Amino acid sequence: MRVELDGARCVSAGQCVLSAPDVFDQREEDGISYVHDDSPGPDVLDDVREAVSLCPAGAIRVVE
């Protein structure tokens, strides 16, 4: 599994960070989210899928 996030589409809602803090974080200066673990283990797959579904901008995708 590979996680991708389009920072240009991110609206800084932070739902991804709340759902999967081991995978996502937000920049201090503008709140834009980024992926800090783009190949997480299967133990966080459900959390990542929740982040995808909660993202209001549709900026996250999972490539399997």
What pLDDT shows up at residue 1?
Answer: 85
Q: What is the mean pLDDT of residues 48-57?
A: 97
Q: For residue 16, what is the domain's CATH number?
A: 3.30.70.20
pLDDT greater than 90 at residue 61: yes
Residue ranges making up the domain that contains 19: 2-63
Tens digit of pLDDT for each residue in 10-43? 999 999 999 999 999 999 999 999 999 999 999 9
Best CA proximity match to 48, nearest among 9, 39, 26 = 39
The phi, psi pair for 53, rounded to 5°, reads -70, -30
pLDDT greater than 90 at residue 64: no
Residues 57 and 9: beta-carbon distance below 8 Å: yes
- Per the structure, the count of domains in the chain is 1
Give pTM, 2 decimals.
Answer: 0.94
